[in-house]
Structure 1
Amino acid sequence: MNLKMSVKQLTLGLVVSLAASGVSAETLRYAHVGAEGDLQTRFASEAAAAINEATSGNLEIEVYPASQLGGVAEMVDGIRMGSIGMGHHDFASLARIVPEVAVFNAPYIYRDAAHALAATDPETPAVKEINERLIEEGGVRIVGRIYRGARHVSSNFPVKLPADLEGKPFRAVPLDLWVSMVKGFGANPTPVAVSELPTALMTGLVVGQENPLTMIAANKLYEVQSHVALTGHMHSVLAVFVNEKAWQSLSDEQRSAITEVLDKKADESLEWAQSSESELVDELKGHGMTVITADDGLDLDAFREQVSAQINQDFPNFGPYIEQIAQVE
């Protein structure tokens, strides 16, 4: 293999090497920011193994978890440029390319977890329309998704109403959609990268945050937070996306194998998240957290009304896509 070809393939996030048998094997670099123990980390590692098996060892997915290849912005830029072949994060992380893609992470738009997974299938009309724009404008293609669980609010004081968060510094994922949502909570949005979140909570830079229970447990946020309110304001669905040139460089069989594996793993991720919810609540209680539900006075309608009003104000272009999402069975 000459140097020119090697450099070209590396820029696509693909590395081609000669196996001992003389058969070419390709390696696709896959990056994400999830910590060890998080459901998304399990997804990536199991999907990588399944893809390798489905392609008879001719395609290896090399996973780099826990922000090893950079934070969210660096990862997305790397996939756009091709230095990283593949990765996953919230749909909204691609909003710098196509702003409307953030709709798939919007709060209160899914009926339940199964609807969230069905509505984010890459073959649905809304995702296909967005995908065409992502490919054309950013060279990135959505090829799968992960259901990670409902997102809930954690804090170091009881939260039952948006008024309880009024004016307080609250962590926002460093994306416009999350900043808008936290404004809807009534709090002061403070963008913090996930890798810096425990320290930000410990030092009081922020007094609360929101995430699925699996992330709260995996990142041991119970060490710096005393309460979790089961607001379920957002169904966390992550997009799995790939550099378009790298995708086109794969064979039809390899692309089909990736798609089939990711579809199967998406269904499994839903099962993982739903089966672990009650166990995670018990685990967090065991670590001393106070869990607040509607039975304890948590006003879910107040959160829904206030957050939805803020999102509708800040993202009026979401309307047509929300209608398409609502029509998915």
Structure 2
Amino acid sequence: MQRGARWNYSAWVPEDGRNSMTYNKLLAASALAIVAGTSAASADTWRYAFEEAMDEVQGKFAQKFKEEIEANSDHQVQLFPFGTLGESSDIMEQAQSGILQFVDQSPGFTGALIPEAQVFFVPYLLPQDEGELVSFFKNSKAINELFPPLYAEQGLELLTMFPEGEVMMTTTGPVKGPEDLNEVKFRVMTNPLLVESYKSFGATPTPLPWGEVYGALQTGIIQGQENPAFFIESTKMYEVTDHITRLGHNNFTTAVMANLDFYDGLEEDDQNLIDDAIDVAFDYITAYQDGLTEKSLEKIKEAKTSITITTLTEEERAPFMATAQDVEAEFLDIGGDQAQEILDQMKADLNAAAGAEG
């Protein structure tokens, strides 16, 4: 999945269905000029960009983090929602270069930098049970021990990963099995494993920047996309699709990172301050999401009574689940030097989470 700000897309997409890219580039350039113009000596102002709007999950996490930092120190945190500094690739470059101190970005995009992070797109790997899911993200050795050195190689300090909700398909036609996705152009992030996953589902995966998705659906360039319910509701993807399908195949994952040189250069007290604020924000955001999916689906149904929301049965999911082994094998082929170790450890962590909840 992913990603974008909570724009009213029906208002911002021109009549020809294309994004106003010139406007977006000018907006991003102006915002970046403001950021770059901030004095480097003002070390007590930390800049944090993310891939969603302020009132979406990443925005809520960022606000809680900001609240904790500012309540327990003299530091200030400046927040940049999606679109204010460009697309996902732009904010990652800014974080790596030190223009930004913090960035929140899905492994769907960092997979190009860190191939092992694509493991989060192996279908049916993560559990649907919310308690197991939270326990896994909080206690996983793969996340807390194996991934940080891989992020460090890219100039990033991995602070945490957290789930954002069950991923659902929104399509212009109904989906009950892989045959219904035949020749369907389905928007995916620019992630090789996600492309492979949707190929195995029967679709024609079509990588697109998030800013182009609404217009592409509106004009029929693509016929589907995937995201959690809150994001489908807030970005109004239901306006340009007619069916929401719950395959139970994944939960959207995101990662909060700091610029490594920035983090390593801090006094221990400030590092502890950041780590503590991350822990508080993690607990807050997992509690915040309790019931969020169903509330979002209710809002969608109220806004568009004609939309269908279908949860596939175990029998209907079976042919989709059967593709997981092939996608897993593809991950081991393209997922980097530590792909096998990461996958094995994640499975052990998931078993431990299931046992803890059981």
TM-score, reference length from structure 1: 0.86
Q: Which one of the candidate residues 220, 245, 253 is aligned to 1:229?
A: 245
Q: 1:206 to 1:308 in 2, by over 3 A?
A: farther
Give the conservation status (yes or no) of the 8 Å contact 2:119–2:331: no
Q: 1:257 to 1:114 in 2, by over 3 A?
A: farther
**2:245 maps to amino acid:** A
| Structure 1: tracts of 5 or more residues without a match | 1-9, 18-24
Q: 1:166 to 1:311 in 2, by over 3 A?
A: farther
**2:208 maps to amino acid:** V
| Structure 2: tracts of 5 or more residues without a match | 1-34, 354-358
- Measure, in 2, the Cα distance between the counterparts of 1:267 and 1:64: 22
Instruction: Find the residue that maps to 1:52 and give its secondary structure.
Output: helix
Other-structure match for 1:20: none
Structure with the higher strand share, 1 or 2: 1
1:192 has 2:208 as partner: yes
Give the conservation status (yes or no) of the 8 Å contact 1:15–1:26: no
Give the conservation status (yes or no) of the 8 Å contact 2:165–2:228: yes
| Runs of 4 or more consecutive aligned structure 1 residues displaced over 4 Å after TM superposition | none
**2:348 maps to amino acid:** Q
Aligned length: 308
- Measure, in 2, the Cα distance between the counterparts of 1:30 and 1:324: 30
The residue correspondences of 1:1-329 to structure 2 (distance < 5 A) are 15-17=40-42, 26-55=44-73, 58-111=74-127, 112-121=129-138, 124-135=141-152, 137-288=153-304, 289-294=307-312, 299-316=316-333, 317=335, 318-328=339-349, 329=353
RMSD over aligned Cα atoms? 2.3
- Measure, in 1, the Cα distance between the counterparts of 2:136 and 2:214: 32
- Measure, in 2, the Cα distance between the counterparts of 1:14 and 1:223: 43
Give the conservation status (yes or no) of the 8 Å contact 2:109–2:189: no
Instruction: Find the residue that maps to 2:245 and give its secondary structure.
Output: strand
CA shift for structure 1 position 253: 1.6
- Measure, in 2, the Cα distance between the counterparts of 1:163 and 1:38: 33
Give the conservation status (yes or no) of the 8 Å contact 2:118–2:331: no
Q: 1:291 to 1:223 in 2, by over 3 A?
A: same
Stretch moving more, 98-107 or 280-289: 98-107
Q: 1:122 to 1:70 in 2, by over 3 A?
A: farther
Q: 1:60 to 1:319 in 2, by over 3 A?
A: same
Instruction: Find the residue that maps to 1:51 and give its secondary structure.
Output: helix
| Percent of residue pairs identical | 23
Give the conservation status (yes or no) of the 8 Å contact 1:14–1:85: no
Q: Deviations over 1:81-140 (max 9, x none)?
A: 2122111111242223321122234332122334333434487245422211321x2111
